[in-house]
Amino acid sequence: MLEAFSGADVRAAEAPLIDAGQGDALMQRAAHALFGVALGLLREAGRSTYGATAVVLAGSGKNGGDALYAGERLLRRGVGVTAVLLAGNVHAPSLDAFQRAGGTAVGLDDATEPSALADHAAAADIVIDGILGTGASGGLRGSALHFVEAFHARAGARGSRSAIVVACDLPSGIGVDDGRISGAVLEADATVTFGAVKPGLLLGDGAQAAGELDVVDIGLEMSSFTPVVRTLLDADVAALFSRPTSRDQKYTRGVLGIAAGSTRYPGAAALAVGAALATGVGMVRYLGPESVAALIHQHNPEVVASTGSIADARSQAWAVGPGAVDDDDQRRRAVDALHSGLPVVVDAGALTELPERVGPHVILTPHAGELQQLLAARGIDAERSAIEAEPARFALRAAEVTGATVLLKGFATTIASPSGALFVQRDATPWLATAGSGDTLTGIIGALGATLAEDDGAAKRLRLPPEDLWAAVAAAGALIHGRAGRRAARRGPVVVSTLPADIGAVIADLLQEPPPTT
Ligand SMILES: NC(=O)C1=CN([C@@H]2O[C@H](COP(=O)(O)OP(=O)(O)OC[C@H]3O[C@@H](n4cnc5c(N)ncnc54)[C@H](OP(=O)(O)O)[C@@H]3O)[C@@H](O)[C@H]2O)[C@@H](O)CC1
Ligand SMILES: Nc1ncnc2c1ncn2[C@@H]1O[C@H](COP(=O)(O)OP(=O)(O)O)[C@@H](O)[C@H]1O
Ligand SMILES: [K+]
């Protein structure tokens, strides 16, 4: 599990090592890792190191020191490195080392026009951003701000520029603890972060700016600190996942009831059902119109369908809402499922049926627009753009006021437990932003919920308190969904109805078992 700790906690963990005289050793470890990633990226881009050009951007703190020491190592590999000093008082020992290795350092103060240096950086093979680290307060200012703006104007945006940007510890200009960006930020292709992930690298705009994350162990002891944000990794999902045993039969594996779809939107139900089956459950019971059940049966004849009520369809968990629009029967089923006491995944049309207060076993899966409505219904006004800029803050607020687990969809999936625990998953690809994608996410989480509903050891397997189990289940669903989307995208634009094949393959990979033969 990736655990992100606040900048203050990382600095507190670092303090005893610095007091013991290991400050320079820590910096060398950080620099070495940064250098390794920079080298790897150059090679990946097909550029030979000898004769390549690099620009190190160094601010006044230790972040600049890390970057200069990495620059020193690049120089020794034959890379031509220039350092742009964006403060008068950069870390002296690293600057010395950099210059002794043959590096050129150029100062840039508030009065200097940055255009020539920005041109040089834009034309470089690689740029190392060591302007600001965990010591940053507020957005970039002064010469650092001018330089980054000039660099953007010349190099273009990430994706179109030719220079590879590697952030040292974090992209300069993001809020260390909240990922907020005020003003300019140097969007990185990759971020090499030291000791522990910082929350700003997983949250909101900061997550966008960070690019690929590389976490480097430099020997910090974080076990006495509480993580602010967590991200599940493959091993966590594998540990959480409920595998069938020889003693199981279909009912003990878990039955998922799905009340989704309507005559107007039948497809949403088919998508949720297909995804749930691919995730693995003992049985899917479908409740809804006969015409929708007929569509489901064309693809999945194993589904047990009825037009009855929640009380008559014994299940371990429910998934309600996708495509359930203008249908009173589906609305009633959503309400009944919400009062059943069982785990319920609540999406789309069912979000408006939420009672005043529920428990964490109720997992809401809104996108930003739906969350806006949900909050507005509780007297909390927030612009959609504000929710998108600070997903963690608003997901936590929604969890607090409803008592539910809240999964907020988007580029990063943000999951808030009413306990205050926060998970962020960044496994998806923007190719998943297509109609019907959310319906499959509902099916996946529903299936995980049904198979884990009666598993008392599930939270313990992830060393989480029991009240945070449902947030972890939602996060695991987001990981499987995102991974399946990436796998599907290898064939081209994602067609959601074909996602179940990828879901099955992703789970087989996670569990390191061969996919079931069909
Ligand atoms: N944790 C670890 O174990 C290890 C950490 N390591 C590294 O140390 C880094 C933290 O170093 P740090 O404490 O020196 O802070 P850092 O961000 O480099 O500089 C802060 C200075 O920048 C300035 N400044 C502030 N805000 C600004 C703004 N908005 N715009 C412009 N300037 C601004 C301000 O200077 P002032 O303006 O006050 O003169 C302030 O003093 C950490 O990220 C990691 O890379 C590694 O070496 C290995 C082990
Ligand atoms: N830019 C993006 N990058 C990655 N994933 C995204 C992006 N935008 C949306 N998604 C994912 O796509 C899915 C869209 O769900 P949703 O908005 O409910 O669509 P629908 O209602 O059409 O099924 C969510 O899982 C969301 O996290
Ligand atoms: K940085």
- Reported as a pLDDT band with limits 50, 70 and 90, residue 517 is very low
Q: Which atom of ligand 2 is nearest to the CA of 347?
A: 18
Alpha-carbon span 136 to 132, nearest angstrom: 6
Distance (angstroms) between ligand 3 centre and the Cα of 59 equals 9
Alpha-carbon span 350 to 323, nearest angstrom: 9
Mean pLDDT (the chain, rounded):
95
pLDDT for residue 518? 37
> What confidence tens digit (pLDDT) does each residue in 486-508 have?
999 999 999 999 999 999 999 99
Alpha-carbon span 190 to 36, nearest angstrom: 12
Does the annotation list 204 as a binding residue? no
Residues 36-44: what's their mean pLDDT?
96
CA angle 30, 36, 38 (to 5 degrees): 100
Q: Which atom of ligand 2 is nearest to the CA of 409?
A: 27
Helix axes 499-511, 469-489, angle to 10 degrees: 120
Please list the residue range(s) of the chain that carry CATH number 3.40.50.10260: 2-231
> What confidence tens digit (pLDDT) does each residue in 285-306 have?
999 999 999 999 999 999 999 9
Residues 98-114: what's their mean pLDDT?
92
Q: Which atom of ligand 1 is nearest to the CA of 139?
A: 29
CA–centroid distance for 365 within its chain: 15
pLDDT of 217 > 60? The answer is: yes
Residues 233-248: what's their mean pLDDT?
94
The answer to whether residues 148 and 186 touch, using CB atoms and an 8 Å cutoff, is yes
pLDDT for residue 515? 46
> pTM (2 decimals)?
0.86
What is the β-pairing status of strands 413-416 and 422-425?
antiparallel
Q: Say which DSSP state 517 is in.
A: P
Q: Which ligand is the nearest neighbour of the Cα of 484?
A: 2
Helix (H) or strand (E) holding 83: strand 80-85
Instruction: Identify the weakest region by mean pLDDT among 101-105, 137-141, 262-266.
Output: 137-141
pLDDT of 241 > 50? The answer is: yes
Does the annotation list 446 as a binding residue? no
Alpha-carbon span 17 to 242, nearest angstrom: 41
Q: Which atom of ligand 1 is nearest to the CA of 7?
A: 1
Q: In 3-state terms, what secondary structure has residue 15?
A: helix
Ligand 1 and 402: CB distance under 6 A: no
Q: Comparing 381 with 109, which gets the higher pLDDT?
A: 381
- What is the strand order of the sheet 212-216 is part of? 104-107, 80-85, 53-58, 126-130, 164-168, 190-194, 212-216
Kindly state the tokens that stand for 79. 């890379």
Does the annotation list 339 as a binding residue? no
Distance (angstroms) between ligand 2 centre and the Cα of 454 equals 29
pLDDT for residue 99? 98
> What confidence tens digit (pLDDT) does each residue in 129-170 have?
999 999 998 899 999 999 999 999 999 999 899 999 999 999
Residues 238-242: what's their mean pLDDT?
96
Ligand 1 and 134: CB distance under 6 A: yes
Alpha-carbon span 498 to 360, nearest angstrom: 31
Alpha-carbon span 44 to 36, nearest angstrom: 12
The answer to whether residues 437 and 500 touch, using CB atoms and an 8 Å cutoff, is no
pLDDT for residue 516? 44
Instruction: Identify the weakest region by mean pLDDT among 64-73, 109-118, 382-391, 401-410.
Output: 109-118
Ligand 2 neighbours, Cβ below 6 Å, are 367, 409-411, 413, 428-430, 432-433, 435-439, 441, 481
Does the annotation list 137 as a binding residue? yes
What is the CATH topology of the domain spanning 2-231? Rossmann fold (3.40.50)
* CATH code for the structural domain at 234-242+254-511: 3.40.1190.20
In this structure, which amino acid lies at residue 3? E
- Reported as a pLDDT band with limits 50, 70 and 90, residue 112 is confident
Q: Comparing 390 with 193, which gets the higher pLDDT?
A: 193
pLDDT for residue 513? 57
Neighbours of ion ligand 3 (CB under 5 A): 63, 129, 167-168, 172
Alpha-carbon span 23 to 66, nearest angstrom: 11
Instruction: Identify the weakest region by mean pLDDT among 355-359, 372-376, 411-415.
Output: 411-415
Q: Comparing 112 with 415, which gets the higher pLDDT?
A: 415
What does 253-320 look like in DSSP terms, one character per residue? H-EEEEE---SS-HHHHHHHHHHHHHH--SEEEEES-HHHHHHHHHH-TT-EEES--GGGS--SEEEE
Q: In 3-state terms, what secondary structure has residue 31?
A: helix
Q: Which ligand is the nearest neighbour of the Cα of 139?
A: 1
> Which residue in 260, 248, 437 sits closest to 344, CA to CA?
260
The answer to whether residues 447 and 440 touch, using CB atoms and an 8 Å cutoff, is no
Kindly state the tokens that stand for 395. 């997901």
> In sequence order, which residues have a C-beta less than 8 Å from that of residue 94 and are 6 or more positions away?
27, 31, 58, 64, 65, 66, 68, 69, 72
Does the annotation list 460 as a binding residue? no
Please list the residue range(s) of the chain that carry CATH number 3.40.1190.20: 234-242+254-511
Does the annotation list 328 as a binding residue? no
pLDDT of 32 > 50? The answer is: yes
Residues 367-373: what's their mean pLDDT?
98
Q: Which ligand is the nearest neighbour of the Cα of 144?
A: 1
- What is the strand order of the sheet 344-346 is part of? 2-4, 229-231, 422-425, 413-416, 405-408, 362-364, 344-346, 317-320, 255-259, 283-287, 304-306
Distance (angstroms) between ligand 3 centre and the Cα of 34 equals 11
Distance (angstroms) between ligand 1 centre and the Cα of 65 equals 9
The answer to whether residues 337 and 313 touch, using CB atoms and an 8 Å cutoff, is no
Kindly state the tokens that stand for 218. 């430099």
pLDDT of 269 > 70? The answer is: yes
Q: Residue 136 — φ and ψ, nearest 5°?
A: -65, 140
> Which residue in 304, 277, 305, 302 sits closest to 290, CA to CA?
305
Q: Is residue 495 packed enough to be buried (19+ CB in 10 Å), middle (13-18) or exposed (0-12)? A: exposed
Q: What is the 3-state secondary structure (H, E, C) of 417-486?
A: CCCCCEEEECCCCHHHCCCCHHHHHHHHHHHHHHHHCCCCCHHHHCCCCHHHHHHHHHHHHHHHHHHHHH
What does 110-175 look like in DSSP terms, one character per residue? TTS--HHHHHHHHHSSEEEEES--TT--SS--HHHHHHHHHHHHHH-STTT-SSEEEEESS-TTB-
Most informative mutation of 37, 62, 68, 172 for ligand 1 (most atoms within 8 A of CB)? 62
